[in-house]
Structure 1
Amino acid sequence: MTNVEVKTVAKHYGGTPVLTDITCHFAEGSFTSLLGPSGSGKTTLLRIIAGFVAPDHGNVAIGGKDVTHTPVRARNIGMVFQSYALFPHMNVNQNVGFGLARRGIRGSAARDKIARALEMVRLPDFGARSPKQLSGGQRQRVALARAIVTEPTVLLLDEPLSALDRRLRQEMQVELVRIQRESGLTTIFVTHDQEEALSLSDRVAILDRGEIIQSGRPAEVYERPRTRFAAEFLGDSNFMSGTVRDRTIVLEDGQRIATGFDLPSDGEHATVAVRPEKMTIIGGHDPASDGENQLSARVTNVIYAGPALTYTLQGVDGTTLKVFAQNRDGRPRETGETVTLVWKAADTVPIEA
């Protein structure tokens, strides 16, 4: 069941388009990440859903009701900001209960809801503390408790973890998923962090220059990027281009690349993407197995990171390639060494150049 629906929403600032006819929907109980670089329009889309920004045209519906012109306070949404936005003169209980007070919920009813919200974010004994007595991670938990205490229809998160250090960020990622699963809230999460989007979400929507260029389950979007931007932004990719011939791509140096997907007609140009972890280095002249592509390349750089290695290589035609490898044998390949890269045709994905 669709809980939030956005139809042909557009927004301009000073004549500059920020969103261009965005249409998307968010299923009830889902966790969706809006992923994209700065300026892609993801925060503007979130703020339009929240009601902080009015679209130039288009509609927003929540729970089947058109809320395009409904004020923020009447949309029954919870929102968590990057800056926490806690009131410094209020203690934790007062911060969490702020939205309840505005709805006229006070006394024992409010205390019970506040206690349950703090229990959910694992801060049951912090109600009397002031924000300045809390760590960054604890402040973010309080902000989350304040957002969920009113039992909103939709939870909106605007890069809420970006101000935390790496360890706290990872801890809060786990907690966010737990809280979302326990509450069943429809959650829309804005981030520019690819790993965060992949690990937290049921669905990912990639935005670029005001448009959603691809959306779907994380594995689907990662394994089958449709465009070069999607392949580059959501992880790393190697790109190879050539002429289609006999259902393969012939590179400039004459080497052939096979794919498990449909290609244009013979004679047409095509580009494919291959993730660096899908490629394996097997040695200078070792044969590839059946059903695999192989490509000769020269190692130009090696980054050693203990359990993992990142290789930069140059193909015969001058194409720069990257390979991620596990450190299994303890002997990294040497710079200048000529090797053979092998990978499956099924991991060779045609994209829009």
Structure 2
Amino acid sequence: MMHLNAFVMPNGHHEAAWRHPSTDPHRARTFQHYVDIARTAERGRLDSIFLADGVALRGNVKHNSHSHFEPLTLLSALAASTVHIGLIATASTTYNEPYHLARKFASLDHLSGGRAGWNIVTSAGIDEARNFTLAKRPSHDARYDRAEEFVEVVKGRLAKYGPTPDEIKILPGISPILGRTEAEARAREAELNALIIPDYGLRQLSEMLDHDVTGYPLDGPLPDVGSFTEGGQSRFDLVVGLTRREDLTIRQLLEQLAGGRGHRVFAGTPVQVADELEAWFRGGAADGLNVMPPTLPGGLDDFVDLVVPELQRRGLFRTEYAGTTLREHYGLARPVNRNRVKEPA
């Protein structure tokens, strides 16, 4: 069966979602907003909800609605308002210590009845380093060396106790923009893109590239940003490759990135979106998808009410939960308790 995870941003994944008439940025600051989203995901029998996080306030707050709660706190509260849905939080290996995170995630896991998950990041931003009294961020290699050791110290020694290769699930991101017809879906995409504030996108693009591009003409080419960064290297390579491959202007690049920051954005009917997900799944490219609604809560409502039933009709997605834990949703075996006292022979 395909796995589906709801990747939740306060107002949705499109950077202009907070300006769209279907969203309410003020409601995104309330607990009930997230309760409704989590219950919608659970109604759709999704595996989990996932909250991204960074440990710095972005410098372009003037042009967006910022209402990100600390994810472990929010998910602990949501555990009491849901029964089945997995609860995945982002936490940095660069600016935490293993004991603290192990304790926090173990607490969430016990309080939720086995539904906790950890999204591991190394925090590439310069502002994040400054928030922890560092004059500069650690190098890319240093961050990843620490992350590897960190993980071994925390979730166990992966090579000895961890999952086998066929138990590792790959869930790339997709932001589906739905319409009753393909033309309606593309019109919705254009409506969102028309609300883009270039100053916001330029600052975000500058962070992705680790290079200030705010002073260049929007309808001109991207300047030479080099071929290496100590920041987020995979996103850097993706953006530079996209620009060169499609010969995009800065304005065109901003539109390409506005819906999913480099993740797949797909506008179409529920059947077309289901076709896209099925192609990824059956082609072996993914075990499922991180669903990134362009707007919330409406984008997730549409996906659950229109796409999930189509996937269920095709026999690709569960109609009921098989268990109550995140491990059961992913079909993973429960590890042996190493502290269990063996029965005498």
TM-score range, shorter chain: under 0.3
The answer to which structure has the higher helix fraction is: 2
Q: TM-score, normalised by structure 2?
A: 0.28
Q: Which has the higher strand share?
A: 1
Normalised TM-score (structure 1): 0.27
Relative contact order (C-alpha < 8 Å, sep 6+): which is higher?
2
Instruction: Please tell me whether Structure 1 or Structure 2 has the larger radius of gyration of its CA atoms.
Output: 1
